[in-house]
Chain A
Amino acid sequence: MIPAAFAYARPTTVDEALQAVASGGEDVKIMAGGQSLIPVMRLRLAAPETVVDLTRVAELRGVREDDGAIVIGAMTTHSDVISDPLIARYAPLIAEATETVADRQVRHRGTFGGALAHADPAGDLPAVALALDAEFVVAGPGGRRTVPAAEFFVDYLTTALEEGEILVEIRVPKREGWGMHYEKFNRVAQAWSIVAVAAAVRREDGRIAEARIGLTNMGPTPLRATAVEEALAGVDATAEAVAAAAAHAAEGTDPSSDLNAQADYRRHLVTVLTRRAVSTAAGL
């Protein structure tokens, strides 16, 4: 449980961090909270030449408002996310999902940006970001660019981040008055999701006007349950209608088989969890 030797840099600004990444050699790893990176280094599944630690980059921390969006710094810790008033008001789904992440100790170190950049299919926050149409602001040697959530998650543990780039902040459109719920299914309290469903629902006159649904661990990346979203659009907000729509939740998914669940069981679970998530989000 001792990592291989590595060089260590602890920049204080994004520019310094980009510099450190650029000059760190062949294999550089950015470290946010270290809650995923350090374990794999200790197991020697990863042996980077240089670790660039972002914990002192103050500009990456915190949540602010920017017109129609809230902007969450990549280095905002899970525990800060949970208690943030802007998130509570405009994107409570993020706080609710984050509360299910790991345990207190991990949440005090682990970060929103780290969890998204890590892109573990069993991680809870990517599906939430996807459901809420978040945008990822990425800084690189050539400046900044913005990547929509739908394009950010590329594959298992792989994102649109290019070599030399740093995830700076995540922009989440304000959704006031939406009903939201994160339905997580796992076996012990601090564990990752076997399957989970992030749902955001806008109700209008007893109908479901709009629904956004993100699925955790139903494939190598988080997925949108588009078939369910389409089936929900405009239906009466009733238990039957939600159940009928949720039956489509496994469409287009490609879940893996592991100790916790084989693929067919995951495909079943996702329909039950989607029904529950949407029902709760819709206040049923």
Chain B
Amino acid sequence: MTVTEEPTVTAGAPAKEVGQPRKRKEDTRLITGRTTWTDNMVLPGMLHLAIVRSPVAHARITNVDVSAAQQSQGVVAVYTGRDFAEEQGSLPCAWPVTPDMVNPGHPSIAVDQVNHVGEAVAVIVARSKVAAQDAVELVDVDYDQLPPVLDMEEAIKDGAELVHSHLESNTSFHFVFDGGEAGAAGNTDQAFAEADVVVSRRFVQQRLIPSFMEPRSVVVQPQGDNYTLWSSTQIPHILRVMAAMVTGIPEHKLRVIAPDVGGGFGGKLNVIPEEILSLLVARRLRKPVKWTETRSESLMTAHHGRDQIQYIDIAADREGNVKGLRCRILADMGAYLRLVTPGVPILGAFMFVGIYKFPAYRFECDGVFTTKTPTDAYRGAGRPEATFAIERIMDELAVELDLDPLELRRKNWINAAEFPFTTAAGLAYDSGDYEAATQQALELIGYDELRAEQRRRRESNDPVQLGIGFSTFTEMCGLAPSRVLGSLAYGAGGWEQASIRMLPTGKVEVVTGSTPHGQGHETAWSQLVADELGVPFEDVEVLHGDTAISSRGMDTYGSRSLVVGGVAVVKAAEKVVAKARTIAAHLLEASEDDLDFTGGTFSVRGTPGTGVSIQEIALATFAAHDYPEGIEPSIDAEATYDPVNFSFPHGTHICAMDVDTETGMVKIRKYACVDDVGKIVNPLIVEGQIHGGVAQGIAQALYEEAVYDADGNLTTGSFVDYLVPTAADLPHFDTGNTVHEAPGNPIGAKGVGEAGCIASTPAVVNAALDAVRHLGVSDIRMPLTPERVWRAIQEGGDGGDRATAGTTAYGGAQTETTAGVSTDASSLGGDR
């Protein structure tokens, strides 16, 4: 880890907190589990929910018989879709990406029809979790099955089976961004017509499952006409507004609390059916209720991510100057539109041009309904898909032109001197130096040596071939300038709020609207405030996640917390200092203009020995015995920050990959990355985010895929078949940084939460391809299972479809069997 910027230490002043690799203050309680996860909540009289879920992908519900379940021991009530049909409304979709986008509506519980495996069809309410679970098997649902709709390319054809029979087609929207029409670039058709070379590819972004560590959990407590909703969510603030609108509970009667939340990766950036159902049941029964999902439910029903088919055309001249980029995307919405389902591919629309100076660019995207779990945000949301497409097609173009992939990139990327640079997608990139990051990454990985070894192995026809792959990426962070969101028809703003409360003992409470779910906000915010106020790191407590404490916020996603929420904290601190200055001047009998503020103390310039600390001022203000006339006796402050632009972290990721050509097994040999995330507040947190992100991006390249069989069952219904790699499967990461502060951001930070995940995937795939291109392989579909790699070598093509059957472990624990279909007595053994 190289931080090129030295923290400035002025003599006498304490060392700056910002830039220190502080260990995360929240980790002790998070890692040891000594905290209140939602599922730990126990309330007097609390009832437990279990959900009966559809075992079929697409069917009309002809009958639901709940009588046996109602009789079951400990069961208080059983509800079906009919019971809530009048009051459940529709789960919200906040992002109508086109004016004529078709939204079929999203019931929290199916009434007449189910459209994906795992959809709720009945809710059991019981006195214990066990009793609720036992009754699930007793609900008898009759389904009149319809053909599943699984393949997007088929689903958009005329006469295709419709997911929603009341709609005209399976297409939700057709979104177009044309750089020419937007005035950001030239005419794309013309650029392609005049180009020397056009390379076209079809890439598949497989469906992924966010797989956060803490399963989702909801508790609702009704008290009078007030409701408190605890949820393992990333977005308590947004959830409050949305849940109020869906259920009709007035917003001021609904308090939402996200206690410590164990990961989300976008997977908890939603308003989920179970949150609404819990509110509806609690309202009906006037009793506290809890729902906690099983891991199988989570894999099957928590929203999925990615799932695009990308048709990419790139145009260039013979020398390798890119001339145009055309992207046509099919984006799988799944069965319904959730909170930002349609917006995910649209977030990517502006990133397909990557770091390159395309003179022309056109993007088209169809949102397509299928009978699968809805998709929505997953770490990177739209940007990994875009980055993959551009970084893969650049390699394909390099092959076509017989150019070194890095040379081609160099020829076309934005040079350091050209910032700020407005791309063909209309975004103004703020700062950076792609060459510097690339140089550093090449050194970290030992590039020349690896290329030499690659040559040796080629020549000796070694069964294990070596490949090297690049991803020189950027991304847009800091969601988001509210006006930009408005122009994209997003349903909310992108500002963030913070407030600071100065307690009488001089301790500091920071209230943030960016609700963390594992990122380390408490530590980073404490570092920011410690520097701004000159108070010890330990004297700062960060409060979050409760709408009664943190009344306004836009929560955590899109690498926005530090870049937007952190700035709000700094702005609030500046206001505290300004208010304290007035009181300090009064106490020191000096003019405000004559005061210096360093190390937390106001002193009169030129008068050594005088001084009053901000912590003393806090006490003086609390007592309020002696303060200036005409001001309020408080130095507390709040601030709301709305960014003016996105920020654009960038970096170069390089992967070296061994490919066993006999078996198709790929193994990462070395991985180096240099990321520019602007100002680094805490290097340890930054490195942690990079490590986790790179791991997740590698996981997409090599391991993870949500697979549905021909009937629409999720066959990767457990972690036996949905392969999430662990540390044992991943290489050492050589990480580094360059620092170009974000000019538009008061902290100078660019955001790091998604960078690793966005950057790494194409580097890994490019590396594998580089190892076997000489064997005639030009594409391998993700994840690069050994079988696919072997087939691509043996048979050409992209490795093809995998067989959809689950493996034998746990008897192939597929969705069908975990969906509440009654199972006969023990079937473990030969009788299965």
Closest to A265 in B: B787
Task: Confirm or deny: B696 has a beta carbon within 8 angstroms of a beta carbon on chain A.
Answer: no
**Residue with the highest number of chain A CB atoms closer than 10 Å, among B804, B809, B818:** B809
Contacts of B830 in A (CB 8 A): 154-158
Are A2 and B825 within 8 A (Cβ)? Answer: no
Task: Confirm or deny: B2 has a beta carbon within 8 angstroms of a beta carbon on chain A.
Answer: no
CA A47 to CA B663, docked complex, whole Å: 40
Q: For chain B, what secondary structure do more than half of its interface residues adopt (helix, strand, loop), or is it mixed?
A: loop
Task: Confirm or deny: A57 has a beta carbon within 8 angstroms of a beta carbon on chain B.
Answer: no
Task: Confirm or deny: A83 has a beta carbon within 8 angstroms of a beta carbon on chain B.
Answer: no
Select one of B726, B729, B802, B827 contacting A259, CB under 8 A: B802
Contacts of A154 in B (CB 8 A): 830
Task: Confirm or deny: B450 has a beta carbon within 8 angstroms of a beta carbon on chain A.
Answer: no
Select one of A29, A45, A191, A257 contacting B810, CB under 8 A: A45
**Residue with the highest number of chain A CB atoms closer than 10 Å, among B790, B806, B823, B830:** B830
Select one of A27, A156, A194, A260 contacting B825, CB under 8 A: A27
Are A262 and B787 within 8 A (Cβ)? Answer: yes
Are A1 and B826 within 8 A (Cβ)? Answer: no
Given A1-B296, A188-B703, A45:B817 Cβ within 8 A: yes
Are A121 and B808 within 8 A (Cβ)? Answer: yes
Select one of A4, A48, A156, A188 contacting B729, CB under 8 A: A188
Task: Confirm or deny: B485 has a beta carbon within 8 angstroms of a beta carbon on chain A.
Answer: no
Closest to A6 in B: B826
Q: Report the stretch among B37-45, B590-598, B715-723 that lies at the interface.
A: B715-723
Given A185-B663, A190-B726, A259-B716, A40:B805 Cβ within 8 A: no
Contacts of B707 in A (CB 8 A): 259
Select one of A1, A47, A194, A257 contacting B823, CB under 8 A: A47
B793-824 toward A: CB 8 Å interface, digit per residue (1/0)? 00000000011111111111100011000011
**Which of under 10, 10 to 19, 20 to 34, or 35 or more describes the interface residues of B?**
35 or more
Are B808 and A48 within 8 A (Cβ)? Answer: no
Q: Report the stretch among B128-136, B260-268, B770-778 that lies at the interface.
A: B128-136
Task: Confirm or deny: B295 has a beta carbon within 8 angstroms of a beta carbon on chain A.
Answer: yes
Contacts of B810 in A (CB 8 A): 36, 39-40, 43, 45
Closest to B791 in A: A265
Task: Confirm or deny: B180 has a beta carbon within 8 angstroms of a beta carbon on chain A.
Answer: no
Closest to B728 in A: A189
CA A190 to CA B729, docked complex, whole Å: 9
Are A258 and B807 within 8 A (Cβ)? Answer: yes
CA A272 to CA B807, docked complex, whole Å: 22
Are A259 and B295 within 8 A (Cβ)? Answer: no
Are B807 and A262 within 8 A (Cβ)? Answer: no
A163-190 toward B: CB 8 Å interface, digit per residue (1/0)? 0000000000000000000000101111
Task: Confirm or deny: A144 has a beta carbon within 8 angstroms of a beta carbon on chain B.
Answer: no
Contacts of B194 in A (CB 8 A): none
Contacts of B824 in A (CB 8 A): 47
Name the distance in Å between B654's Cβ and chain A's nearest Cβ: 23
Contacts of B129 in A (CB 8 A): 2
Name the distance in Å between A52's Cβ and chain B's nearest Cβ: 13
CA A76 to CA B676, docked complex, whole Å: 53
Are A191 and B723 within 8 A (Cβ)? Answer: yes
CA A259 to CA B707, docked complex, whole Å: 8
Are B806 and A258 within 8 A (Cβ)? Answer: yes
Task: Confirm or deny: B251 has a beta carbon within 8 angstroms of a beta carbon on chain A.
Answer: no
Are B808 and A46 within 8 A (Cβ)? Answer: no
Are B715 and A259 within 8 A (Cβ)? Answer: yes
CA A45 to CA B813, docked complex, whole Å: 8
Task: Confirm or deny: A138 has a beta carbon within 8 angstroms of a beta carbon on chain B.
Answer: no
Contacts of B728 in A (CB 8 A): 188-190
Are B808 and A260 within 8 A (Cβ)? Answer: no
Contacts of B829 in A (CB 8 A): 157-158
**Residue with the highest number of chain A CB atoms closer than 10 Å, among B129, B295, B716, B720:** B720
Name the distance in Å between A148's Cβ and chain B's nearest Cβ: 19
A257-277 toward B: CB 8 Å interface, digit per residue (1/0)? 111111001001100110000
Name the distance in Å between A192's Cβ and chain B's nearest Cβ: 5
CA A262 to CA B788, docked complex, whole Å: 10
Select one of B130, B133, B808 contacting A258, CB under 8 A: B808
Name the distance in Å between B830's Cβ and chain A's nearest Cβ: 3
Are A43 and B805 within 8 A (Cβ)? Answer: no
Which parts of A113-145 form the interface with B (CB within 8 Å)? 120-122
Select one of A2, A26, A259, A272 contacting B721, CB under 8 A: A259
A11-49 toward B: CB 8 Å interface, digit per residue (1/0)? 000000000000000110100000011011001111111
Q: For chain A, what secondary structure do more than half of its interface residues adopt (helix, strand, loop), or is it mixed?
A: loop
CA A212 to CA B369, docked complex, whole Å: 54
Are A259 and B296 within 8 A (Cβ)? Answer: no
CA A259 to CA B818, docked complex, whole Å: 19
Contacts of A265 in B (CB 8 A): 787, 790-791
Task: Confirm or deny: B294 has a beta carbon within 8 angstroms of a beta carbon on chain A.
Answer: yes
Task: Confirm or deny: B682 has a beta carbon within 8 angstroms of a beta carbon on chain A.
Answer: no
Task: Confirm or deny: A146 has a beta carbon within 8 angstroms of a beta carbon on chain B.
Answer: no
Contacts of A44 in B (CB 8 A): 137, 817-818, 823
Contacts of B137 in A (CB 8 A): 44
Task: Confirm or deny: A256 has a beta carbon within 8 angstroms of a beta carbon on chain B.
Answer: yes
Are A262 and B826 within 8 A (Cβ)? Answer: no
Closest to A37 in B: B828
Are B726 and A47 within 8 A (Cβ)? Answer: no
Are A43 and B817 within 8 A (Cβ)? Answer: yes
Given A44-B137, A188-B703, A262-B787, A1:B808 Cβ within 8 A: no
CA A5 to CA B134, docked complex, whole Å: 9
Name the distance in Å between B89's Cβ and chain A's nearest Cβ: 30
Closest to A122 in B: B808
A231-275 toward B: CB 8 Å interface, digit per residue (1/0)? 000000000000000000000000011111110010011001100
CA A191 to CA B295, docked complex, whole Å: 18
Task: Confirm or deny: B398 has a beta carbon within 8 angstroms of a beta carbon on chain A.
Answer: no
CA A269 to CA B662, docked complex, whole Å: 8
Contacts of B817 in A (CB 8 A): 43-45
Are A48 and B826 within 8 A (Cβ)? Answer: yes
Name the distance in Å between A205's Cβ and chain B's nearest Cβ: 30
Name the distance in Å between B524's Cβ and chain A's nearest Cβ: 32
Are A47 and B807 within 8 A (Cβ)? Answer: no
CA A122 to CA B786, docked complex, whole Å: 17
Task: Confirm or deny: B832 has a beta carbon within 8 angstroms of a beta carbon on chain A.
Answer: yes
Contacts of A26 in B (CB 8 A): 825
Are B828 and A29 within 8 A (Cβ)? Answer: yes
Name the distance in Å between A7's Cβ and chain B's nearest Cβ: 13
Name the distance in Å between A247's Cβ and chain B's nearest Cβ: 13
Which parts of B86-144 form the interface with A (CB within 8 Å)? 129-130, 133-134, 137
Task: Confirm or deny: B61 has a beta carbon within 8 angstroms of a beta carbon on chain A.
Answer: no
Sample of 25 A–B contacts (CB below 8 Å): A2-B129, A36-B810, A39-B810, A40-B813, A43-B296, A44-B137, A45-B811, A46-B826, A46-B827, A48-B826, A121-B808, A156-B808, A157-B811, A185-B663, A187-B703, A188-B703, A190-B726, A256-B805, A258-B805, A259-B715, A259-B716, A259-B806, A260-B787, A261-B786, A262-B802
A residues sitting closer than 8 Å to B (CB atoms) are 1-2, 4-5, 26-27, 29, 36-37, 39-40, 43-49, 120-122, 154-158, 185, 187-192, 194, 256-262, 265, 268-269, 272-273
Top 7 nearest A-B pairs (CB, nearest first) are A158-B830, A189-B728, A46-B828, A257-B803, A1-B294, A258-B805, A46-B826
Besides the known contacts A1-B295, A259-B804, A259-B806, 14 further A-B residue pairs in the complex with CB atoms under 8 A apart: A4-B134, A26-B825, A36-B810, A39-B813, A40-B810, A122-B808, A157-B830, A187-B723, A188-B723, A188-B725, A256-B808, A257-B803, A259-B805, A262-B802
